[in-house]
Amino acid sequence: MTISRRRLIEALGAGAALAMAAPRRAAAHGRHRSGIIRLHRNESVYGPSAKAVAALVEDVRHTAGRYPDADIEALRRGIARAHSVNTERLVLGCGSGEILRMAIDAFAGPSKRIVTAVPTFEMVGSFARQAGSEVIGVRLSKDWSHDVTAMAARTDASVGLVYICNPNNPTGSLTPREDLERLIRTLPRHVVVVVDEAYHDYVGRTTDYASFIDRPVDAGRLIVLRSFSKVHGLAGLRVGYAVTSPETARAVEGHRLSDGVSTLAARAAVAALEDVEHVRDSVEANENDRQEFLNEANARMLASVDSLTNFVMLNTGRPAAAVVTHFAKHGILVGGPVTVFKNYIRVSIGTASEMSEFWRVWDLQPGGGHVM
């Protein structure tokens, strides 16, 4: 079946109108159109803002056939205004993951090693292996924060880069700002530090946290990552950015994929950045939905890691691999098992119907799903 350009545009326009009328419409749906419930990728269940959807429709109509030069520059200016920085301090990428890969290529490689927490964002290890770097993994502290003392002790002349995800993925836990400052000041001068703030918007107000973009420390060697894939709901468009020093930005840019950010993605990201109301509403809804998830977990006597993100690391009380398989058989994908924590899974916060199905399937396990 074919569809005319006119009908395509009309359909897209109708979708945008619906999004503007009900920005939470995404939360009303249940299963993904594939028939699978996706609770394994930390995607925003609330979707993109109505303004971002409208920007996509406008782009399809007028500029989808153009290379993204002007739109990328508009996005750079928008990000620079949002953070009160110069555009020369910015690096754009096809998701923040691409910028992480670029940073590893620039400052690690076969002759250097990388220090990171265990567990943390799994792509760090993949990118390091591709670059020929050895990864030094330092287990998280008992309170689930980065063990900054141990990380500093493992960082010597052979290390080119230290990676910190805060809040951390997959634990959702926070490392206090003062601990990270102490680590950064302790590291050898040649070491570049990547601070991944993909989940920044979910943290809320706490004296233990402040963004390294808003309050930089030793900015000359600090690369701070942000993503439009989480609270902005644009995971499918792949847009991320980093704020760093001009010199470090140039070094990272040398490993950039040409035109890695599309016109569609750039325009949607500009609109999403400006829609602060959507971000605020999504954060508030996430807090409520996460608490409801924890209430259900507590009712089943399940322990979890305190999370400041849109996911929760849940103690299954049994081998997590079997739990992951159990859910997959029932059409639900969850993250896990978690490295070095074999009785944990990571569960992204889904829609009300998705979470209801999650707990129904959980209770189908032997013992009714309760942990004794």
Residue 29: the pLDDT is: 44
pLDDT, tens digit, for every residue of 106-148?
999 898 999 999 999 999 999 999 999 999 999 999 999 999 9
Q: Judge contact between 237 and 264, C-beta under 8 A.
A: yes
Does position 232 have pLDDT exceeding 50, yes or no? Answer: yes
| pLDDT above 70: residue 155 | yes
Average pLDDT rounded to a whole number, residues 327-350: 96
C-alpha span between 101 and 107 (Å, rounded): 10
Sign of CA dihedral 62, 63, 64, 65: positive
pLDDT in tens, 323-335: 999 999 999 999 9
| 60-274 carries CATH number 3.40.50.1820 | no
CA-based nearest residue to 82, from 222, 219, 218, 232 = 232
Residue 216 and residue 218: Cα distance in Å, rounded? Answer: 7
Q: Do β-strands 332-334 and 37-39 pair in parallel, antiparallel, or remain unpaired?
A: parallel
Within a 13 Å sphere around the CA of 251, how many CA atoms are in the beta-carbon half?
18
- Per-residue three-class SS string for the chain: CCCCHHHHHHHHHHHHHHHHHCCCHHHHCCCCCCCCEEECCCCCCCCCCHHHHHHHHHHHHHCCCCCCHHHHHHHHHHHHHHHCCCHHHEEEECCHHHHHHHHHHHHCCCCCEEEEEECCCCHHHHHHHHHCCEEEEEECCCCCCCCHHHHHHCCCCCEEEEEEECCCCCCCCCCCHHHHHHHHHHCCCCCEEEEECCCHHHCCCCCCCCCCCCCCCCHHHEEEEEECCCCCCCHHHCCEEEECCHHHHHHHHCCCCCCCCCHHHHHHHHHHHHCHHHHHHHHHHHHHHHHHHHHHHHHCCCCECCCCCCEEEEECCCCHHHHHHHHHHCCEEEECCECCECCEEEEECCCHHHHHHHHHHHCCCHHHHCCC
> Which two structure tokens, joined as six digits, stand for 30?
């249940």
- For residues 361 and 54, the model is more confident at 361
Q: What is the pLDDT of residue 366?
A: 85
pLDDT band at 217 (very low <50, low <70, confident <90, very high): confident
Res 348: pLDDT: 98
Q: What are the φ and ψ backbone dihedral angles of 192, each rounded to 5 degrees?
A: -90, 140
Residue 20 has pLDDT above 70, yes or no: no
Give percent of the chain with pLDDT exceeding 90: 77
Question: Per-residue pLDDT for 30 more than 50?
Answer: no
- The pLDDT mean for the chain works out to 89
What pLDDT shows up at residue 27?
A: 46
* Nearest to 16, CA basis, from 48, 42, 43, 39: 48
pLDDT in tens, 157-208: 999 999 999 999 999 999 999 999 999 999 999 999 999 999 999 998 899 9
What is the C-alpha end-to-end distance of the chain, expressed in Å? 55
pLDDT at 227 over 90: yes
What's residue 263's pLDDT?
87
Per the structure block, which two tokens stand in for 100?
């992480």
* Least confident window among 29-43, 221-235, 249-263, 290-304: 29-43
Q: What pLDDT, in 10s, does the model give residues 282-299?
A: 999 999 999 999 999 999
Band the pLDDT of 346: cuts 50, 70, 90. very high
Fold annotation for 5-46+276-369 = Aspartate Aminotransferase, domain 1 (3.90.1150)
83 burial via Cβ count (<10 Å: 0-12, 13-18, 19+): middle
Q: Is the pLDDT of residue 2 over 50?
A: no
Query: What's the confidence (pLDDT) of residue 238?
Result: 94
Residue 67 has a pLDDT of 72
Range 11-39 average pLDDT = 54
Q: Which residues pair with 242 in a beta bridge?
A: 91, 225
Which tokens hold the place of 315? Answer: 């103690």
